[in-house]
A and B are shown apart, each in its own frame.
Chain A
Amino acid sequence: MSTAHIMASGMCGIRTAGDLVAWMQLTRRMKINEAKQYVAGKLGIDVADLCNEDVMQDVRKKFDIGNICAAADGVKGITAKSRIADLLDISINSVNLFKSKLTAPLH
């Protein structure tokens, strides 16, 4: 049933820009249109192309933020989220924790 909703009305996650718009709702409480405009502005594309697979696959490759068809050397998971936080200029809790572990002193 959830997949039916995703296909009927969802942005389709990392297949397009769904995860990016979702991050704006979660971190900035943005309503859907504001969130889409914000993300489109950061990506340098039209709002209409946020759910256009043909455009978004190239955009995701260009910024290296994770693609639905996984390249062996492409980022995914926490590495992708770290790049998304920088790209969208947002604070992501899991990324902050990850970075704090990476940069913590060894002694």
Chain B
Amino acid sequence: MSNRIWIRMGDGERVSMAPDEVKKDLSAGTQDAADKGRIPELTQEELDQLFEIFADPNRIVAVSPGEEVITTDDGASGIMVVDQPDGGTALPMGYFNAVLAFERICCADTAGMGHYDYSCKPVKSIINYEKQRYYMYSQATTIPLIYGTQPNLGLYFQPDGPFPNAAELIPQGKIEEARRAQEMAAEALIEDLVFCAKELYEVGCDGFNFDTSGSAGDADFYATLKAVTKLKTIAPDMAIEIGMASEFVLGLHGGIEYNGKRLAGMFPHEQVKVVEEAGADIFGPAINVSTTASTPWNLARAVTFVKETVAVANIPVHPNVGMGVCGVPMVEVPPIDSVTRASKALVQIGKADGL
């Protein structure tokens, strides 16, 4: 066993592989990303570097001094106070204290905060409460405080919302009706996103994170982009981060465009260009994880996409590195060995500007 390397599967299971098996999975992972995204594979030198990261016998790995990057998050401090479904620890403390602990104990570069539900629609009805919270927290934090919310177009369809459910119409062959429903829902979402962000801007909001964008497909992504475009006019001093839901924009509408560009089917290196056009300041690609493939395969794949995205981007790129994306196993408690390997590889080889 001594010449074998301990790695994880995409579901977090720890297994050992022979060095040649790891190398084979690294090559297959980068080839898969290159094929799907029509982008360059990692070079042999980069694959060798990635192999060394996996072969490192230490449980925790890290970047070299001088390579450190900025961290942004989707309300990660809230993990201290929420419970199991959100990966939380349910400490008997308030969100305010969690944000301060995130700044002063965890030493984060920025802190995210948001409504416990995190979707935009529920925030609208309690916006005054959220404004009070943001203003209060903002007076006490030194690091940038970023309010986050998920566009989540799905909440605008029946039975949760007013519009016919596209996911029910499509299987019935009612394609045009499904498209109209998504277009109407997107307009309502744009209005809500702009409303919430504008209200927070008025109490000094320094940053707004549209997190898990595109979770309901291309119309969801479209609504996010349109909202950002409007906000950059009415809230010019508020930075905007767009984090994606997955590596590929699902074409539930199929024909919706932003500035003449069809959104369905876009991969991260294409997503970042429309995100830039919309005026966002930071982009967070999310590369899917296969739970049945190894972390060498998954991480090689993620690094290939991220490297190309960073190469074409004119804005900082912060890959999403929560559970189940960008090489981090899809499991409730992601193992530290895998988390730090993803962290190091995305920065050292992917050249990410942050995480």
What's the interface size class on B, roughly? Answer: 35 or more
Interface residue? B159 (CB, 8 A): no
B107 touches A4 (CB 8 A): no
Let me know if B321 and A5 touch, CB within 8 A.
yes
**CB of A59 within 8 Å of the partner chain:** no
Q: With A5-B339, A26-B239 in contact, is A32–B142 under 8 Å at CB?
A: no
* Residue among A25, A70, A98 making CB contact with B354, cutoff 8 Å: A25
A43 within 8 A of B: no
- Determine if A32 and B70 form an interchain contact, defined as CB atoms under 8 angstroms apart: yes
Which of B36-44, B203-211, B266-274 lines the interface with chain A? B203-211
**Sorted from nearest, which 3 A-B pairs have the closest CB atoms?**
A94-B204, A18-B109, A26-B239
Contacts of B3 in A (CB 8 A): none
* Cα–Cα, bound, A10→B110 (Å): 10
Residues from chain B with a CB closer than 8 A to the CB of A21 are: 70, 109
CB distance B239 to A11 under 8 Å?
no
Cα distance A46–B34 in the bound complex, in angstroms: 38
Which A residues touch B107, using CB under 8 A? 6, 10, 12-15, 18, 68
- Give the interface of B toward A (CB within 8 A): 60-63, 65-73, 76, 79, 87, 103-104, 106-110, 138-145, 201, 203-207, 237-239, 281-282, 313-316, 321-323, 328, 334, 336, 339-340, 343-344, 346-347, 352-355
> Are A10 and B68 closer than 8 Å at their CB atoms?
yes
What separation, in Å, do the CA atoms of A22 and B282 have in the docked complex?
11
Question: Given that A26-B282, A93-B237 are known contacts, is A9 also in contact with B68, CB under 8 Å in the complex?
Answer: yes
Within 8 A of B (CB), among A38-86: 47-48, 50-52, 65-66, 68, 70, 76-78, 80-81, 84
